[in-house]
Structure 1
Amino acid sequence: MYDFTIIGGGIVGLSTAMALGQKYPDKKILLLEKEASWAAHQTGNNSGVIHSGIYYKPGSYKAKFCREGNNALVEFCQQHNINYEICGKVIVATEQEELPRLENIYKRGVANNIDISMLSKEEAKEVEPHVNSLAAILVKSTGIVDYKQVAEKYAELAIKQGADLFNNCRVTDIKETSEGYVLITNKEEYQTRFLINCAGLFSDRVAQLVGVKPPAKIVPFRGEYYELTPEKRYLASNTLIYPVPNPNFPFLGVHFTKMIDGSVHAGPNAVLSFKREGYYKTDFNLKDFLDTMTYPGFWKLSVKHGVDGIQEMARSWSKSLFVASLQRLIPEVSAKDVVPTHAGVRAQALGNNGKLVDDFLIIDRPQAMHVCNAPSPAATSSIAIGKAIANRVTV
C-alpha cells in the first residue's frame, strides 16, 4: 500500500514526487509513467523557455506559480549544475495598433512585480539589431533551459528520497476502495491511499476513470516550428523575440527562441492535432479525433476563432506564409534561412462554453487531486506547483 501515487512522469508529476518526498520522508510514494523515458511528451518537446510571468492575470495560479517557479528553477539549476541562461526577451510592437496592447502588457508586468523596462525603437535595436519594432518591452528574467534534463534530475532526487518510479507502466483502470484506490496497469495492480493525476494530455480521461467529470476537456494543439540555419542564428542571438499577442487569438503567435544548445527556433503556429500525441501532420487517432469533433466546446471555439484557425492551418502547409509571419519581427529572414524542426503538442483544457481554460486547473476530491490543465508556463512553474500540491494533499 502506497501513501501517494502519481500518474504521469512529465515535469509536473516528477516535481510533485520530489516535493512529496521532501515534505513526507516517511511516506511511501509511487509514480507511474506509461512511456519508457521521463518527460516524453509536453515537457520534452517544449521550447525550453524559463518564463517570467508577465502575461498572466495578477493573482492567478499562473502568475503566482510562474514567478515563484522562475526563481526556484534558476536556483535548482545552479545547485545541480544544469546548464541554463537568463538571456531576457523582447516583446515588440510592429504596428501602431499594437502600441496600446504593449502598454497593457507592461502594466500587467508591473502588477506582477516582473523586472521589465519599456524600450524605444532605437533601444530595441541596441538589444536586438535585426528586429523590427516601433517599441518593445525588455523582460529581464526570461531564460532558457533543457527541461528534459531538469525533469530527469527531479526523478533522480525523488528516487534518492525513496520513491518508486516505474516506466512502461500504463494505468488502464482505477477502482475506488474504502482505503483509497487500486490502480490497474499493464503490469500489476497498485494500492494507494491518495491519488494525484498529472497525466497531461490524458488528464481528463484519467479523472473520468474515477468518476470525476472535469469542467473542461483536453483538446490537443500541435505547435510546429522551424529553426534558423546555423549561419543565420546571429539574426536572433541575444534574447528571445516575441510579438505583441493578438487579443482575439488565445496563443502568443510565432516568435524566435534561443535554445540552450545554441540553435534558434522560430514558431510555433498552433493547429488542431487529430491525435493527443500527434507530432506529425499525418498522425491520426480515431478516438482522439471523435473526442474533439463531438465536443460542443470545440465548435464554439471554432466559430469564434475560425478565421484565425484557418490562417494557422494555411501557415502549417505553406512555408512562405510561415516565413512572412516571421518577417514581421525580423525582415531579413528568408525561406532559405529556416528549416523544419520538431513539433510539440499542447494539452489545452477547453470548456464546454468554447473558452480555453486560462489558468491551471487543479481539482480536489476526497483522497485524490487531478491536475487537469497545466500548459505553459507549467515547466517554469513546476517546482512551485509540486510544492503546492504537496501542501494541499491530505495525509
Structure 2
Amino acid sequence: MAHSFDVIIIGGGILGTSISYFLSSLNKSKKIAVIEQAHKVAFHTSGRNTGKVHAPYLYNPIKKKLFAKSAFHGYEMWETYAKLKKLPFKKDGVIEVALDDKGIKVLEKYLKWGKENGLEDSDIELLNKEEIKKTEPEIKCESALCVYKDASTDYSLFTNSIMKDSEKNGTTLLLDTRVTKIRKGKDRWTITIDGEHEIHTKFLINAAGGEAVDIAHSMGVAKKVTDVHFRGEYWKVPKAYNNLTKSSVYSVPEFPDYPFLDPHWILRVDGSCEIGPNAVPVFSPYGYDKVENIKEFFPKMLEMLGSGARKAIFDKQFQELAVNEIQSSMSKSAMVNRVKKFLPKIDADKITEKGTAGIRSSIIDEGGKFVPDVIQIDDEASFHILNYNSPGATGALPFAAHIVNHLHEEGFFQCEDTEAQCGPWKFNEIIQKIH
C-alpha cells in the first residue's frame, strides 16, 4: 500500500465513491484513495434505503436549488449509467397522497415546485380522489400527486460499479480500514488508521456520512453543530400484496421540520414491497442493535446536552414524535396502521418479516433547529460534507461533480482536465447543466 496520496476521501458511500470517480477521471497522474471502515462500499446508508430515484418535487426551488438540480439531473445520469452497465432501473413512479384539505394544499405546492425544478406536465399531475381510483383502486385519499419521472434501483449496485470504475482510473480503495486519528503537518495530513498505521495526504475530503460530524470535530471544524441519529426500519410484505399498487405511495409529512417520516408503501426494484421507514432515535451511526446503542448512550447524551441539540431533545413536540417512532419500532401494528390510512386493504397479521434497517444522521445547529440542507465547509487543505441526506443517492453523481468543480475553481485542488470524458459524460457539460 502506498503511504502518500494527493487526495484521500474518507467514506465509501455513494457520495464518497462518486467524488473519487470524477476526481480520478480528471486527474490521471494524481494518487487518490478512498477509506471505508466496512468490508464493502455502500454498507450503511447508501445501501440501506428505499432505492428510489427521486423526482425533485419535494424541494423548494429557491432554498434547495442545488439539491433540486442534482436530483433532476441525477435521474437522467443514473438512467444512462444503468443502461451502460446493465444495472436495474425501473420507472415505476411515486404517488404522494393527501388525506385532508391541509395535505391537498401541500400537494399543490409540490406540483408547483416540481415544475419549477424542471418536471414537465407529462412527468407530474395532481388528481382528485375519483381520478386516482381509476388507476389505483386500492388507494384511499382526498387527492394524489402522481409523479411519473420517479424510479427504483439498487444503490448498492450503483455504488459498487462506480467504485470499480474509479479503481480502473487508479484510485486506491482501503476497505476494513478505520480512521482513528487525523493531524495536520506543515504541508500534509497524517491519518492514523486502525490505531497503528499512518498514511499521508495533501488534501482530505470528509464524506463519512454518519461519522462526518465526528471527523469534522476532530479536525476543529463545525464545532457549533452536532448530529442525531435515526434508525429507519422496514417490514417486508407478503407476495400477495406485490400488485396492490403500480407505484410506491407516500403520504404528506405532517411535521416537515423534523426528520420523522410517515412510513411509505415502497415498491422495490425486484418487484417486492415493503412498509417503512420510521425514524427511531438511536445513539450511534451504527446503532442497529441494543449493544451498540447502550455502549454509545452516555457519550452521545453528554455531547447532545452540551450542544444546541439540548434544546431539541427537551422540545415537547420532538419528544412526542420520538415516542411515536419508538412505538412504531416496538409495535408492528403501529407502523402498519399508518399505511392502512391510505391502503386499508393491508392486514398487519399477514406481515411477519422485517427488512433491512438503515440509519440517517441529521444535523442540529446551535439554536436547536434541524438543518434542512447539506453543509459544505472549506477548511485548510480539507473539505467537509455534512448532513448529506435525501435525495442524496439520487443526486450523488451531479453533486459529486459540483464538489470537484468547486474545489478546482476555488483553488483548493487543481484538476488536470475539466473537459475530460467521465464514462458517458463530459465533465464540463455536467457542470453547465447543474449551474
- Call closer, same or farther: CA 1:233–1:288 in 2, change over 3 Å: same
Identity over aligned pairs, percent: 30
Alignment of 1:83 onto 2:88: yes
Whether the 8 Å CA contact 2:280–2:326 is kept in 1: the answer is yes
Whether the 8 Å CA contact 2:183–2:189 is kept in 1: the answer is yes
CA RMSD, 1 decimal: 1.7
Q: Following the alignment from structure 1 to structure 2, what is the Cα–Cα distance between the partners of residues 183 and 282?
A: 29
1:214: how far off?
A: 4.5
Cross-structure match for 2:184 = 176
- Call closer, same or farther: CA 1:149–1:246 in 2, change over 3 Å: same
1:372 to 386, 389, 394: 386
1:206: how far off?
A: 1.0
Whether the 8 Å CA contact 2:261–2:279 is kept in 1: the answer is no
Alignment of 1:388 onto 2:391: no
Whether the 8 Å CA contact 1:249–1:305 is kept in 2: the answer is no
Cross-structure match for 2:268 = 259
1:2 to 5, 8, 14: 5
Q: Following the alignment from structure 1 to structure 2, what is the Cα–Cα distance between the partners of residues 79 and 7?
A: 28
Which stretch of the first structure deviates more once superposed, 67-76 or 194-203? 67-76
Whether the 8 Å CA contact 1:297–1:354 is kept in 2: the answer is yes
1:83: how far off?
A: 0.8
Which stretch of the first structure deviates more once superposed, 53-62 or 259-268? 53-62
Alignment of 1:41 onto 2:52: no
Whether the 8 Å CA contact 2:15–2:207 is kept in 1: the answer is yes
1:287: how far off?
A: 3.6
Q: Following the alignment from structure 2 to structure 1, what is the Cα–Cα distance between the partners of residues 223 and 377?
A: 8
Whether the 8 Å CA contact 1:232–1:337 is kept in 2: the answer is no
1:188: how far off?
A: 2.3
1:182: how far off?
A: 1.1
- Listed one character per residue, the Cα deviations across residues 20-40 of structure 1 (whole Å, up to 9, x for unaligned) are 011222211111111111111
Within-5 A mapping of 1:1-395: 1-59=4-62, 60=64, 61-114=66-119, 115-186=123-194, 188-236=197-245, 238-247=246-255, 250=258, 251-280=260-289, 283-287=292-296, 289-292=298-301, 294-295=303-304, 296-302=307-313, 303=315, 304-339=317-352, 340-393=354-407, 394-395=412-413
Whether the 8 Å CA contact 2:55–2:75 is kept in 1: the answer is yes
- Call closer, same or farther: CA 1:320–1:280 in 2, change over 3 Å: same
- Listed one character per residue, the Cα deviations across residues 117-174 of structure 1 (whole Å, up to 9, x for unaligned) are 1112122223322111111111111111100000000110000001111101111111
Q: Following the alignment from structure 1 to structure 2, what is the Cα–Cα distance between the partners of residues 230 and 96?
A: 34
Q: Following the alignment from structure 1 to structure 2, what is the Cα–Cα distance between the partners of residues 288 and 153?
A: 36
- Call closer, same or farther: CA 1:232–1:180 in 2, change over 3 Å: same
Gaps of 5+ in 1: none
Amino acid at match of 2:267: K
Q: Following the alignment from structure 1 to structure 2, what is the Cα–Cα distance between the partners of residues 368 and 140?
A: 40
1:285: how far off?
A: 4.4
Which stretch of the first structure deviates more once superposed, 90-99 or 276-285? 276-285
- Call closer, same or farther: CA 1:298–1:160 in 2, change over 3 Å: same
Whether the 8 Å CA contact 2:261–2:278 is kept in 1: the answer is no
Q: Following the alignment from structure 1 to structure 2, what is the Cα–Cα distance between the partners of residues 241 and 74?
A: 21
Q: Following the alignment from structure 1 to structure 2, what is the Cα–Cα distance between the partners of residues 174 and 202?
A: 14
Q: TM-score w.r.t. structure 2 length?
A: 0.86
Whether the 8 Å CA contact 1:280–1:343 is kept in 2: the answer is no
Which stretch of the first structure deviates more once superposed, 329-338 or 157-166? 329-338
Q: TM-score w.r.t. structure 1 length?
A: 0.95
1:100: how far off?
A: 1.4
1:371: how far off?
A: 0.8
Q: Secondary structure at the match of 2:20?
A: helix
Amino acid at match of 1:269: N
1:239: how far off?
A: 0.7
1:85: how far off?
A: 0.6
Q: Following the alignment from structure 2 to structure 1, what is the Cα–Cα distance between the partners of residues 136 and 368?
A: 38
Whether the 8 Å CA contact 1:226–1:266 is kept in 2: the answer is yes
Cross-structure match for 2:417 = none
Whether the 8 Å CA contact 1:99–1:135 is kept in 2: the answer is yes
- Listed one character per residue, the Cα deviations across residues 73-122 of structure 1 (whole Å, up to 9, x for unaligned) are 11111111111111111101122332112212222222222231111212
Q: Following the alignment from structure 2 to structure 1, what is the Cα–Cα distance between the partners of residues 116 and 102?
A: 23
Which stretch of the first structure deviates more once superposed, 133-142 or 118-127? 118-127
Whether the 8 Å CA contact 2:283–2:300 is kept in 1: the answer is no
Whether the 8 Å CA contact 2:228–2:283 is kept in 1: the answer is no
Q: Following the alignment from structure 2 to structure 1, what is the Cα–Cα distance between the partners of residues 356 and 222?
A: 33
Amino acid at match of 1:90: I
Q: Secondary structure at the match of 1:72?
A: helix
Q: Following the alignment from structure 2 to structure 1, what is the Cα–Cα distance between the partners of residues 129 and 232?
A: 30
Whether the 8 Å CA contact 1:9–1:33 is kept in 2: the answer is yes
Gaps of 5+ in 2: 414-435
Q: Following the alignment from structure 1 to structure 2, what is the Cα–Cα distance between the partners of residues 117 and 248?
A: 22
Whether the 8 Å CA contact 1:23–1:390 is kept in 2: the answer is no
